[in-house]
Amino acid sequence: MKLKLDIDALNEDFFEDAFLLGIIVTAKSYRFCWQVNNVLGYNFRLNTDINIEIQKKGRRYFFPVYQHTESVTDINHYIYHNQYDGEYLLPEFKHMDFLWLVKGGVPPYNYAQQIIQSVKQINGVQLVAELTNEKIKTKGNLVF
């Protein structure tokens, strides 16, 4: 008997209680997360246990993931760097420098808009936009 892993179902489960923001900013990943922490009061830290690795064209590409967990709720925040050495985590969003995934718990009403407005206050941020599930073709690349 063969068991087959349903990747589509796995991806849908991962994104069931989540939303994704795309961010264009001139800062490097460590600098951007430092700004988010200091300006907005988050506590993002590099989580080396969930770094994303993609193999393409005989090469390996590594995408760092920064994580912040809200202490009062079960909401987790993840910031992914979208580009590494000429490859993109989400190629359909090449223009986005970072991807901010909010997952878990029940976020308060209008939570995505609150984060968008806050991130726009950070120096160097050019754009923050919510990326809808229908537009994300390679969402499996974000699953850890």
Question: What confidence tens digit (pLDDT) does each residue in 97-141 have?
Answer: 999 999 887 677 788 899 999 999 999 999 999 987 767 776 666
What is the number of domains present in the chain? 1
What CATH number is associated with residue 20?
3.30.310
Examine residue 5 and state whether it is found in any structural domain, yes or no: no
Examine residue 95 and state whether it is found in any structural domain, yes or no: yes
φ, ψ of residue 39 in degrees (nearest 5): -80, -40
At residue 98's C-alpha, the angle toward residues 143 and 101, to 5°, is 45
For the chain, what is the mean pLDDT? 84
Examine residue 9 and state whether it is found in any structural domain, yes or no: no
Examine residue 3 and state whether it is found in any structural domain, yes or no: no
pLDDT at position 71: 83
Q: Give the domain range for residue 23.
A: 15-48+57-142
Examine residue 122 and state whether it is found in any structural domain, yes or no: yes
Examine residue 32 and state whether it is found in any structural domain, yes or no: yes
Q: Which two tokens stand for residue 95?
A: 């223009």
pLDDT at position 3: 54
Rounded-to-integer distance, Cα 98 and Cα 112, Å:
15
pLDDT at position 14: 60
Rounded-to-integer distance, Cα 90 and Cα 83, Å:
8
Parallel/antiparallel/unpaired status of strands 45-46 and 65-69: antiparallel
Examine residue 7 and state whether it is found in any structural domain, yes or no: no
Examine residue 4 and state whether it is found in any structural domain, yes or no: no
